[in-house]
Structure 1
């Protein structure tokens, strides 16, 4: 039917069958036959043919308005399908935790778009479990998470970035001048932590439990950025990812305290996407280049830090 609608719309807008045939690159009898087919389909005349010009009947006006909308939708559909096959065009749908979304992905997006300006990004944030759910529901193409369910055989994973966990305090904290700090020392001071159930909370609890230190949080918060601010105002100390506090350390708003009896720990920023079904071409190329982008940006940050 779409080819009949297109012939009809072009005929209306051209005004005559001769002009419509020229626009459509067909013969005039072909245009006439297709218009007759459309009228037969609706069992109503769509034109009043007077003086060689095409004048719409009331039924024709209704069909014209609807046909215009249908053709516009058809064109949009074809454009979107074409973009899915073109790695240089279209939208890549990404889901990420708040910290990667704020501190890591913006630079990666910007660098990628400098190379592939036709690609745009749609970013949604949430917990690792929420991002995986969005993947399962096919609402995003790629997820950037900190907690991965290794039992999910339907998902493909790729580590992107080792995000060191740092014990941070305000510069004037009593521990900041100590050269030897142990995990046991932390039990004497207020600790600010993420809410129960978060991956970071579990890492902190496991660390303290390994030295028989009971965690008694001064505050429980659902935002790493909020924890950083609370630490700066002297409400406690905290373990935070390096990516979250990098700027605060450079500007002297926070200091790092090194634990003498515990090796550095970290959480891994991981890319995840569905194993079944191919990614759109633009998302597939972005996924292939993202590890390299993260590595390049990490080297730049380390160079600035030194």
Structure 2
């Protein structure tokens, strides 16, 4: 069994079309057909069956694909480890991040790292909380920034970078807009603007309200920070957001107010797969991030 055969098999399996696979592999279709035929002959099974003009994996072909995908990922990772062992300053790091950390935290970290390691490249992937955790577990991204940091997951190694307050964001016309702080129960009769169910920031809002005895009345939903802030600016409702999402400014026609009781906070950190040894450039970045925030906390 040759590595080339496995790469050809993967390409055909994913495209379900022999000629398209050949084009993407930059080889003749006959070469792809021959390698697939040789692979099937060596294994003693039929991996593909024809379905009209396309081809589909057989049941045993699907099983072989699952294992081959894992094997190819391991081989690619091993090759990356070797390349970066020879030159750790020229690796590529795959980083995941949520929308709540995209405006300030991530750009600052990457900018500072690039100043020290200008030849390291990044592949960035924004995603939801659970998507990022699953992507780390599936080895699709190397490290992910998250808030809050997941606890007690046996597959994940996590590092808390800092803890921040969750603030109330109100329209400037709200009766409580001039308060220096407020009790969360002060908002029990208000309509809330929230993220949809399944978003971690929606869970933070609901859990905080339930902690003081009420369920928030959600009148509107948005899937990103700008949408949420815009709806509050328009007077549609109130919301709760992490302090870092405001950075140096508050959206126009709104006011952010600290919550006195209960104290609503979230951890923010970085995670990686516990069983995976990071490549040299990834390890350099992982250590840099921890030191970067340790210095920031030291200044506070």
SS of the aligned residue for 2:275 comes to coil
Cα separation, 2, equivalents of 1:286 and 1:223: 27
| C-alpha deviation, 1:292, in angstroms | 2.3
In structure 1, distance between residues paired with 2:80 and 2:197: 46
TM-score of the aligned structures, taking structure 1 as reference length: 0.65
**Residues 7-44 of structure 1, C-alpha deviation per residue, up to 9 Å, x if partnerless?**
xxxxxxxxxxxxxxxxxxxxxxxxxxxxxxxxxxxxxx
For the residue of structure 2 that corresponds to 1:108, the secondary structure is helix
Correspondence for 1:24: none
Match of 1:32 in 2: none
Which residue in 1 is equivalent to 2:138? Answer: 137
Structure 2: stretches of 5+ with no match in the other structure: 1-77
How far apart are the structure 2 equivalents of 1:80 and 1:293?
A: 25
SS of 1:95's equivalent in the other structure is strand
Contact kept? 1:176, 1:255, Cα under 8 Å:
yes
Is the CA contact 2:137–2:156 (under 8 Å) kept in the aligned structure 1?
no
The answer to whether the aligner puts 1:261 opposite 2:248 as a matched pair is no
Aligned residue for 1:83?
84
Which residue matches 2:200? Answer: 199
Give the aligned partner of residue 285 of structure 1: 284
Q: What is the CA distance between 1:293 and its match in structure 2?
A: 2.0
Structure 1 runs not aligned, ≥5 long: 1-76
Distance 2:158 2:80 in 1: 30
Q: Equivalents in 1 of 2:242, 2:181: separation in Å?
A: 21
Structure 2 SS opposite 1:174: coil
Once the two structures are TM-superposed, the CA of residue 232 in structure 1 deviates from its matched residue by 1.8
Question: Could you list the per-position Cα deviations for residues 91-129 of structure 1 after superposition, in whole angstroms to 9, with x for gaps in the alignment?
Answer: 111111122233311111011100111111111011121
The runs of at least 4 aligned residues of structure 1 exceeding 6 Å deviation read: 77-80
1:266 CA drift (Å): 1.6
Cα displacement (A) at 1:260: 3.9
**Which structure has the larger Rg?**
1
Q: 1:276–1:79: structure 2 CA closer, same or farther, 3 Å change rule?
A: closer
1:236 partner SS:
coil
Matched, 1:152 2:153: yes
Deviations 1:259-281 (A, max 9, x none): 34323x22111211111131110
Larger deviation: 161-170 or 148-157?
A: 148-157
Give a deviation string over 1:213-237, Cα, whole Å, max 9, x none: 2311121222223111211222211
CA RMSD of aligned residues (A): 2.6
CA distance in 2, matches of 1:78, 1:278: 13
2:104/2:247 contact within 8 Å kept? no
Q: How many residues are paired up?
A: 223
User: CA–CA distance in 2 between the matches of 1:78 and 1:213?
Assistant: 54
Deviations 1:31-86 (A, max 9, x none): xxxxxxxxxxxxxxxxxxxxxxxxxxxxxxxxxxxxxxxxxxxxxx9898423553
CA deviation after TM superposition for structure 1 residue 179, in Å = 5.1
Could you say what secondary structure the match of 1:212 adopts? Answer: coil
1:153-302 to structure 2, matched below 5 A, reads 153-178=154-179, 181-249=182-250, 253-263=253-263, 265-296=264-295
Equivalent residue for 1:109? 110
After TM superposition, the structure 1 = structure 2 runs for residues 118-137 of structure 1, keeping only pairs within 5 Å, are: 118-137=119-138
